[in-house]
Amino acid sequence: MSKRQRTGITAAAVLLAAFLIWFDRNYDSFRPQSPPRSRQQTQTNDFEKYHGKTFTVKNVVDGDTLDIDIPDGQYDHTRIRLWGVDTPEISHAGSKAMYFGPEAAEFARNITLGKRASIYLDENNRTRDKYGRLLAYVKLSDGRFLNEVLLSEGYAYADVRFKHVFYHKYQQLESTARSLKKGLWRNVTHDQLPQWLQREKSNVLMGRQTN
């Protein structure tokens, strides 16, 4: 074999090795990408995975947010955001806790943490919020729903920003707790309400004044 032939073979081998390295590093860009799941697909999967099933509550984030012991995507748990209620915020990321926020979180923690709970989704609504949390009604082992207990005992506001199957029932539960001055309704002031609720009440008042 001549020197020229040996040089040619060596160059070809180098080029092949370089191509293989490049292809390995860029392989993902040649693979067919799975299309993102549609909202309908997500809802179907969520209903099959969670609806009517029972799990253990492994963490309580605050009064209206908790984690259950089933993986969700990259997480080893599924985060639940309760449908139709809004509890005052607790302190996080340097922000100050809202009035009755710690009390609401502690109440939810006492009746759910480490206990079994059944998850129910709203068949006429989406299953996830904009943060990817599962929107649900949480049934406690004693048959009560956490969403309703929080309202009845004065630990939560009926969230009127989003329609759901128990929209009017939750408003009535809040109204009863408010009339009995239960929980936060005993001393809460207008300035201590969530911003969205302050706006709602201001809009109602303005509507009455213009009529």
For the chain, 211 residues long, give each residue's pLDDT as a single digit of tens.
Answer: 565 555 555 555 555 555 544 444 444 444 444 445 577 899 999 999 999 999 999 999 999 999 999 999 999 999 999 999 999 999 987 789 999 999 999 999 999 999 999 999 999 999 999 999 999 999 999 999 999 999 999 999 999 999 999 999 999 999 999 999 999 999 999 999 999 999 987 764 334 444 4
CATH code, domain carrying 194: 2.40.50.90
Enclosing domain of residue 108: 39-206
Query: What residue type is 79 in one-letter code?
Result: R
How far apart are the C-alpha atoms of 11 and 159, rounded to whole Å?
Answer: 71
Q: In a 3-state reduction of DSSP, which class is residue 185?
A: helix
Domain membership flag for residue 190? yes
Domain membership flag for residue 165? yes
Domain membership flag for residue 117? yes
- Inter-CA distances, 84 with 27, 155, 173, Å: 46, 13, 11
Domain membership flag for residue 173? yes
Domain membership flag for residue 56? yes
State the total domains in the chain: 1
What is the model's pLDDT at position 154?
98
Closest CA to 47 of 110, 116, 113, 136: 136
